[in-house]
Amino acid sequence: MGARAVSPGGALLRTSRMFSVPKPLPEPPSTSLHIGDHKSATMTRQYPQHQSITTPLSSREKGDWGYKRPFPLKSTMTTSTPLIRVKKVDSVENVTDFASAADHSLSLEKFQELHVAMSVPRGKMSGEARSASLWPKSVFEEELDPTESQSGRSDGKRWKFRGPWLARMGEGEFVRYLKKTVHPKRAQFRALLKRKLAEDITTSQNNLAMEKGTPAPPKAEPRDITEAHFSEYLRTLRNDRTTLYGLVSEFLDLAPLAVPIGLLQSIHPPLESKSLYGNSGPPPSHPSAGISYLRTNSFMENHPVYGPQARRTPALARVVYPRAGHKPAKLGVGGFVADVPLGDNEFNIRFGLGRTQANKMLNGIAHLDTTTYGGAKAYIEPKTATVDPSGKVVLQLRETHPEAQVIAKESKGQSHIYHDAETKAKQATQLQGDKSPDRRIERITNEILNDDS
């Protein structure tokens, strides 16, 4: 059977960029429920809400970006980053509302140049799992990338849920969720509890019959449960909050929460390990956020002169915020703000230990450096990155090796450590030849002849 014919107008709309652009993402949620976020109208959002659009130079010279009206050349031809985001195709004034999308596009390009593998947030483990949790685990591992609930597998490693994360919801949003989602499902949840009670009764009767050596009684059905028995079961279930919370979370498919205070003693020891997203909440998208698809940092760089390198090429970071009290200093790496590396190094002050001297402290850490052009900078090595519930990319840095810093500076022409004996001897011979009297007379003659001509 042939394909369905499409009208010329429908074919035009299908190939139009205006109809291929996805819907914008919602505003990033606030992670603070008590203190309002200090936002600016010009600040860069945690993640892009609109698709970044570009066009070839030949089309850009005509103002053609794939939409129904041309864009002004004055604002699209005078930029070195021809990337825009369309906020609204048609506004009240019959104009297309667009802005530059270079911030997120360049941040993505810079982040991919760091070659950082995305990892899941570290949860508090108990026993032998604690030592294994010290190493970052990739978000693409099969055991850490489930999206649906599966039998025999804990939901503590899931990142996608149909229900919300209650700790992130405001009071008004929570009340609306109760009215629109929870209240209409009361009858379904009571039916679920009756099935659960019938299963418990059947299991108890089978165990008792096995102990007495008698045949198993018939299976209990939910319709055989009386209202008095069910009310007593509800009263007992309300006192067992751990079981009740588990049933409610499974029924509504809620994102896991941290263990409530007072329930730690009633939880079985194997369940002491918290969910990966119990404290911070699940991410709004895949834990990788689509910005990196590396599974591990276990790869070796090969320098064209010095061969395989033990450490990766460091990145140059800028000190954007000095240390204030107990708050660590902030570094800007590839357009992302991160905390300084942990440990006793040039980024941290260890009072009373005497191991970090004041003259070894990096400029800009203890106070704002206003003398250095462009601000204080230092080389660091990105270790891994995670995505928090609000969509922010959280980088983890570590101190780099001095040899890696020297090699990185040499690649930028800021230092010179490699000397080829043959090249050096040839350069010395040429330098001596240039200083000989005959060579100098020849150069003077050539200069005079060129001037006269």
The verdict on residue 169 lying in a domain is no
Both 22 and 104 in a single domain? yes
* In a shared domain, residues 312 and 403: yes
Domain limit, last residue, from 84, 114, 144? 114
Do the domain assignments include residue 255?
A: no
Looking at the structure, tell me whether residues 306 and 394 fall in a common domain: yes
The reported pLDDT for the residue numbered 123 is 57
> Is 48 inside a domain boundary?
yes
Whole-number Å distance between alpha carbons of 111 and 108: 5
Residue 231 covered by a domain: no
Within-domain flag for 315: yes
Give the torsion through C-alpha atoms of 380, 381, 384, 390, to 10 deg: 30
Domain range enclosing 80: 9-114
| CA gyration radius, the chain | 32
Encoded tokens for 93: 């004034």
What is the tens place of the pLDDT at every residue in 372-424?
Answer: 888 889 899 999 999 887 788 999 999 888 888 888 888 888 887 776 555 55
Residue 193, token pair as written in the block: 């509890």
319 near 364, Cβ under 8 Å? yes
pTM of the model: 0.72
Q: Phi and psi dihedrals of 236, rounded to 5?
A: -70, -35
Picking from 114, 147, 182, the residue at the C-terminal end of a domain is 114
Domain count, the chain: 3
Structure tokens at 342: 């942990």
Instruction: Burial-class residue 386 by CB neighbours within 10 Å (0-12, 13-18, 19+).
Output: buried
Does 20 share its domain with 75? Answer: yes
Together in a domain, 438 and 376? no
* Triad 88, 92, 93: Cα angle to 5°: 100
Residue 38 neighbours by CB distance under 10 Å: 6
* 26 and 61 together in one domain: yes
Q: Does 291 fall in a domain?
A: no
The answer on 360 and 430 residing in a single domain is no
Final residue of a structural domain among 114, 142, 173: 114
Please check whether residues 403 and 306 belong to one and the same domain.
Answer: yes
Per-residue pLDDT tens over the stretch 72-83 = 898 889 888 999
Q: Tell me, yes or no, whether 144 lies in a domain.
A: no
Written as tens digits, the pLDDT of the chain (453 aa) is 455 677 777 776 666 666 777 888 877 665 544 444 556 667 788 888 888 999 999 999 998 888 878 888 988 898 889 999 988 887 777 788 888 999 999 999 999 999 999 988 875 544 444 444 567 888 888 777 666 666 555 566 777 888 888 887 888 888 898 999 888 888 898 888 888 888 888 888 888 888 888 888 888 888 888 888 888 888 888 888 888 888 888 888 888 776 555 544 444 444 444 567 777 778 878 888 889 999 888 888 898 888 898 888 899 999 988 887 788 889 999 889 999 888 778 887 664 454 545 556 778 888 888 888 888 898 999 999 998 877 889 999 998 888 888 888 888 888 877 765 555 555 565 555 555 566 666 767 676 766 544
In a shared domain, residues 341 and 442: no
Closest of 244, 256, 320, 248 to residue 282, by C-alpha: 256
Pair (351, 430) in one structural domain: no
Residue 232 within any structural domain of the chain? no
Place of tokens 């390990």: 273
330-384, pLDDT tens digit by residue? 999 988 999 988 877 888 766 445 454 555 677 888 888 888 888 889 899 999 9
Q: Do both 406 and 310 map to the same domain?
A: yes
If asked whether residues 84 and 104 sit together in one domain, one would say: yes
